[in-house]
Every structure is written in structure tokens, then in C-alpha cells.
Structure 1
């Protein structure tokens, strides 16, 4: 399971483990390039240099993963990109402390935090388009000025974006199925995004379609659809006859 497949604000240990592995891999690659560019005098020095760089990058990954997840939990705003800025900033502060330089820590805090935040925004924009990027950036920048109300509105909007069960009260006539009746019902439907459920197939199809290689458009994002339906709905029509509609309201939802 990949990093983006895990729910934000949960599975902190798993998320931290993934970011630690990514940091370790980057550290190994960076150390290899460093050893090629600046050949050490001895094998021991080479091992020390590689270990130092790899451990530093692994620590940065671990701090970023844990700080991001804990921020999402503490602020009760799991989808807020600001959590990623906080995680990146925490990693930058650690880097400055390791090098005993306040200037390095401040620069790394802003730099890594900004990169992490826009990485999160880019992941969300993959589905929603550029418009959602502007929508997300504005709350991130204005959030500290708007206070608790702004954070609450943003959290509620994030909840609505997830694939889940919604409901609305309508009359039978408003269903548009050809029946005439004044009876009302609570119609439950599925709505929301399925970004975290994209698979390799979806990513490949998106790239192929963007390159103009398909003759006709094809959906490359999972859809939020009912997994099961409620019991058949029966009602009395305006002509005093009873009717039954099967599979009308959703019982639960999922990304398919």
C-alpha cells in the first residue's frame, strides 16, 4: 500500500515507515553520488560518509511523516495542506539543529515546508484541476487570520470531498422516474472524490490520454458509487395504486 492510499491523520506509524524508507533511499542515492564526485581517502571514510548522509535523510523522512500525521490529528483537519508544511518545516528545523545553524534551519523549514505543501496540493489537483489548487492555496495562506471558524469550514469542506453517503429529502414525483405521488422519502446517494483509490491503471491511462493517444476520452479516476442498496421502496401513487421501486437509495458507498 502506497503513501497516498493511507487515510490522512491515521496510520501514523505506517505513514512514518513509508517516509522513512523514502528518506533512506534518497540518502543512499545522494551518498553514492557524493562518493563518486568526492572520492574519500579510505574505505572507512566512505562508509562514514554514506552512513551519515543516509541516516540524516532517513531521520528527515521519519520526522516529516510523524509531524505531518500528528498535525492532522491535533488540528482535526486531515486534508489540510498546512499539515504538510508543518511536517516539512519540522524536518528543516532538525536539519538546522544537526548542522548547528539557525539560518540553515530557518531556510530548510520554509523550503521543505513549501515543497511538501505543494506536493500535497498537486496530488489533489490531479483530480480537481487547476481551479482546486487556487481554492486550496487561499485557505492555507488565510487560515491563521480566519481563526477557528475558518478551520471548521475548511474541515467540513474536506469531509464533503471524501466519497461517502449523502441524503436529501424529495417527493416521489421529483425522482423523475415517471411516478406521480406526493409521498416524500429520504433519498440517499453517493458523492465525493476517490483520489486515494487511483491505481497504476488510472495513472497510466491518464498519461496516455493526456498525450492524445486515445481516439475517445476514457475515465481514469475511480467513481464514488453505491456498493449496496436499501430495501425496495413502496408508495401509494396519486392514482391510488401501490408501486415498488427496487434499488432506489444507496446503503453504503465506495470507490469503484
Structure 2
């Protein structure tokens, strides 16, 4: 199961379609399951197991479809154009937006989403080319259990030495 450990940038652009699809779908499935959980618990509140599973499929499936559309469109665009640039990611974002529009049955929503996904994809590619992070890693800070006194003024009883 080493393919589950694959990252999107393990191989050059235009290569290893399956590995890249797995890499993007890991994130899409995580977001889809998280959103589906919120949907089931707070919004749609389906009654029973099958309607609940249906809501999970309704939300998670299209998100994975958008990730796959982005990956495949970027891969095909890279191979057809013979260039590895921001336009390929923009095309991938537009393809993901098309899946979104089909999911919502609204072509205007698909066009708008495709435009914004395309811009986000182009900015992501720019970040890789220029060496900065689109989503910087979260830095966890450990703390000690020492107690600090952050009061502005001490208690009057402590000033007099009592």
C-alpha cells in the first residue's frame, strides 16, 4: 500500500497519473467526510443509516470528482502543451469547477467556481515555482506548566508585606 503514501509532487508534472490522483483524493476525501459530518449533524439531519450514508456520498463523491478532474486536466494539459506552467493548473481548476457546476446543477456556479479554482491553482503553481508555501505548515508550540503572574498591579495586601 505504498501508493497511499504518495505525494502529488513525488513525480514530475505530466507523469504518474494514478499516484497524483491518489494524492489529491486523500485530501478531497478528508474534506468531504468532514463536511459531510457537519452536514449530517447540523444541516440536513437525515433519519436512518441509508439516508445518512447517502448524504456522505452526496458530499464526498463530487469533492473527489473535483480532485480527480483537476489532476487529470492538469496532467493532460501538461502533456499536450509540453509545458509545465501556471496555465495547466488554471485549466485543472476550470475542470474542477465544471464538476462543481454539474454537482450543483448550475452552470453559472460551475463557471464561477472554475474561475476561482483556476486562480487558486495558478497561485499554487506559482508558489511551487517561486519556493514559497501556499498553505504554510502549522507550527505546534509546546508550553510548560509554570504559572505566570500577568496582573498589572499587585494586590495591596502584598505591597505592605502582610
- TM-score in same-fold range (> 0.5): yes
Cα-to-partner distance string for 1:2-47 (whole Å, 9 max, x where unaligned): 1122211111221122112221121111111222222514123221
Q: Does 1:60 align with 2:47?
A: no
Contact conserved, 2:39 with 2:45, CA < 8 A, in 1? no
2:87 is aligned to: 82
TM-fit CA distance, 1:87: 0.4
Alignment equivalent of 1:92, drawn from 97, 106, 109: 97
1:6 is aligned to: 11
Alignment equivalent of 2:51, drawn from 37, 40, 45: 45
Contact conserved, 2:7 with 2:19, CA < 8 A, in 1? no
Alignment equivalent of 2:131, drawn from 120, 126, 132: 126
Larger RCO (CA within 8 A; separation ≥ 6):
2
TM-score (normalised: structure 1):
0.47
Query: Distance in 2 between the 1:52 and 1:41 partners?
Result: 12
Alignment equivalent of 1:27, drawn from 18, 21, 32: 32
Aligned Cα root-mean-square deviation (Å): 2.1
1:163 is aligned to: none
| Max Rg structure | 1
Cα-to-partner distance string for 1:136-184 (whole Å, 9 max, x where unaligned): xxxxxxxxxxxxxxxxxxxxxxxxxxxxxxxxxxxxxxxxxxxxxxxxx
Alignment equivalent of 2:117, drawn from 112, 131, 150: 112
Contact conserved, 1:66 with 1:87, CA < 8 A, in 2? yes
Q: Which runs of 4+ in 1 moved over 4 A?
A: none
Unaligned runs of at least 5 residues, structure 1? 130-202, 208-256
TM-fit CA distance, 1:81: 1.1
| Structure number with higher helix proportion | 2
Contact conserved, 1:96 with 1:102, CA < 8 A, in 2? yes
Contact conserved, 2:37 with 2:56, CA < 8 A, in 1? yes
What secondary structure sits across from 1:42 in the alignment? coil
Query: Distance in 1 between the 2:90 and 2:46 partners?
Result: 39
Query: Distance in 1 between the 2:87 and 2:128 partners?
Result: 14
